[in-house]
């Protein structure tokens, strides 16, 4: 009888865990699914950022910034590193600011080395 209770508890826990994962995958905060609302793709955002700055993208992601979704592209021009935000609907550059954290730095602010980022 005791074994049956443990088995039932284990099955219930697994079911609840899988439901939680399914819920998280369908929320608006899931970056991967939120991109469905964008009119442009990641490659187009990178191209817009590179053309606007005249440099090369070293990293890009789709993220929520100050309550709205944007493409955040890190662009390197000479010895400068800039964070460029691209509007996901119009494809236009919204902002471009120097990124002092990555200026001449071998490690990213999240602790990953740039060499490791290239392997991702």
Number of C-beta neighbours around residue 46 at 10 A: 20
Convert the pLDDT of each residue in 55-80 to its tens digit.
999 999 999 999 999 999 999 999 99
Instruction: For the chain, give the mean pLDDT.
Output: 77
Residue owning tokens 């865990």: 17
What pLDDT does 29 receive? 59
**Dist. CA 71–CA 91, nearest whole Å:** 9
What pLDDT does 116 receive? 41
Convert the pLDDT of each residue in 23-44 to its tens digit.
444 554 566 899 999 999 999 9
For the chain, the residue count is 120
Alpha-carbon distances of 24 from 20, 31, 102, rounded to whole Å: 6, 11, 32
Residue 112 pLDDT greater than 70, yes or no:
no
What pLDDT does 5 receive? 58
Whether domain 38-119 has CATH 3.10.450.40 = yes
């Amino acid at each position: 009888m005791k074994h049956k209770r443990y088995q039932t508890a284990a099955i219930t826990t697994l079911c609840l865990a899988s439901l939680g994962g399914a819920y998280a995958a369908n929320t608006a905060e899931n970056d991967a699914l939120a991109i469905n609302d964008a009119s442009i793709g990641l490659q187009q955002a990178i191209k817009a950022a590179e053309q606007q700055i005249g440099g090369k993208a070293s990293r890009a992601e789709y993220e929520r910034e100050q309550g709205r979704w944007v493409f955040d592209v890190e662009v390197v021009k000479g010895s400068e590193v800039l964070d460029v935000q691209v509007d996901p609907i119009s494809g236009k550059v919204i902002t471009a600011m120097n990124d002092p954290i990555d200026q001449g730095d071998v490690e990213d602010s999240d602790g990953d080395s740039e060499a490791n980022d290239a392997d991702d």
